[in-house]
Structure 1
């Protein structure tokens, strides 16, 4: 495999190492990291050593590596996705109790849908999504919902990107994608039959934040059978409306989710700030 170290910044090379890990490959050897990140083995060895020393990677007893706990700390401080997930979770759970199949919350990241929540059942239909996992927007119900309410630039970026065809039903051309998202915009929901796996059907609706802006998609994955989709679409629409109300209440006019709305009271926030200030003073 050709190495792509040349021309990439130091930060880009470090990120390439971290990007080598995904939900299906949580443990990687040094050789596997070098291959996945398209870095020379010597470069990968050096970068992995640096990331391990900083706690961003952790070395296992079998000499493989996994993402470090320090990354989880950083992710937990992200107000956007974490706040959205916390506020929308009760509504996801309400849907999940009714459908008893996969219930998911996704956001648009570039040309992909990134899933920040997923509830499931052991006997649920086959599904490709994982928390923290991504699926190309053209192939996912969440992606299609989000593209239907995104700007022209986001849609065109997906149209320019390769469109992987998972099944014979997957959207595979820019023209088809534009037709589908126009219909989704008019209907208020999407139904995708067999786009990722022929046995699975996905139904999704938008979740809105401050100013009515669509910020996420609430979706379910159910068996691809003859059951009508409209009752589930109605259920999702009601749940999304509830989540949207809670999000607007939490973010107010600023659109930023306040800490107290995701489990921290104002007094707790002030107390934590005092502790941090005292700690900083003690180290001077």
Structure 2
């Protein structure tokens, strides 16, 4: 969710419109006008006016029953985000190769602040069910890709994440900062992360970092398999190979241009 201070800087009308769009979640894909007003904490009259503008532009659409959902035009604009689009285009051939070889779930994620965002996921045939979706956010402390992204994040980001309560997903989830710090150290030492039944009790995830031309970690790729079938050390070489291939395929970062004096 967008931080309140960030919304304040956009101006009252834009801030309210963004707040209105934020009430839609994977669990709330379709809402009535009154439900939108309640979740956004705005008067119904304000929501009615903003909704009309958002529908006219295409950010929202109204169905035959009078409920609203995210519009196709907003998805079209969002799909142009350079971090997700360019990265996904470069990575997709290698993700598909990894999926075809293993027939398992393959995922690609980037860090956004103190969370991760999945930019691609390929579901393997008969693969273990996962709780992720493209465009979805997740904690950095539980998944394989999250542990990779957190392990190579700036120290201030790590401290911010570890200073907060850590969500438990299963009995195996690491919920203390000491446990997570140890996992991050292991990730940096061996070059890949292992999430063993941290999110669901039937899944094992192995993830590796994707580097840009400057050597910075810009994403993480993972393979999610059924727990107890294939050990992590047997999966790791495949994931590392895919991550390195994606890293080599990424275009060089364009040099920054100093503004004219």
TM-score (norm 2): 0.88
Could you list the runs of 5+ residues in structure 2 that have no partner in the other structure? Answer: 257-261
Q: Secondary structure at the match of 1:205?
A: strand
User: How far is the alpha carbon of 1:131 from its aligned partner?
Assistant: 0.5
Instruction: Figure out how many residues of one structure are paired with residues of the other and give that number.
Output: 248
User: How far apart are 1:195 and its partner, in Å?
Assistant: 1.0
> Over the residues paired in the alignment, what is the CA RMSD in angstroms?
2.0
Whether the 8 Å contact between 2:106 and 2:124 is mirrored in structure 1 is no
Judged with a 3 Å threshold, the aligned counterparts in structure 2 of structure 1 residues 246 and 180 are, in CA distance, closer, same or farther, namely same
Offset at residue 222 of structure 1 (A): 0.9
Measured in 2, the distance between the counterparts of 1:161 and 1:53 equals: 40
CA distance in 1, matches of 2:224, 2:41: 34
Identify the match of residue 120 of structure 2 among 111, 117, 121. Answer: 117
With over 3 angstroms needed to count, the CA separation of the structure-2 counterparts of 1:40 and 1:181, relative to structure 1, is farther
CA distance in structure 1 between the partners assigned to 2:43 and 2:32 by the alignment = 14
Q: Which residue of 2 aligns with 1:251?
A: 252
Q: Which moved more, 1:233-242 or 1:222-231?
A: 222-231
- Structure 1 residue 193 and structure 2 residue 196: aligned? yes
Q: Equivalent of 2:162, from 140, 144, 159?
A: 159
Residue 85 of structure 2: aligned partner: 82
- Report deviation, 1:43: 3.3
Matched, 1:65 2:68: yes
8 Å Cα contact 2:205-2:225 kept in structure 1: yes
Q: CA deviation at 1:209?
A: 0.7
Change (3 A) 1:159 1:37: farther
State which drifts further: 21-30 or 140-149.
21-30
Match of 1:179 among 156, 179, 182: 182
Q: Distance in 2 between matches of 1:252 and 1:55?
A: 33
The one-character-per-residue Cα deviations of 1:65-107 (angstroms, maximum 9, x if unpaired) are 1111221232233222100000000111111112212100000
Deviation at 1:201, TM superposition (A): 1.2
Match of 1:168 among 144, 168, 171: 171
**2:144 & 2:42 partners in 1: Cα distance?**
34
Give the structure-1-normalised TM-score.
0.81
Partner residue of 1:268?
Answer: none
45, 48, 57: which is aligned to 1:45? Answer: 48
Q: Aligned partners of 1:233, 1:53: CA distance in 2, in Å?
A: 49
Q: Distance in 1 between matches of 2:42 and 2:164?
A: 24
Q: Corresponding residue for 1:96?
A: 99
CA contact (8 A) 2:128 2:224 kept: yes
Q: Deviations over 1:162-218 (max 9, x none)?
A: 321111111212222222111111111111111111111111100111211000000
Conserved 8 A contact 1:23-1:132: no
**Structure 1 pair 14–252 and aligned structure 2 pair: CA distance change class (3 A):** closer
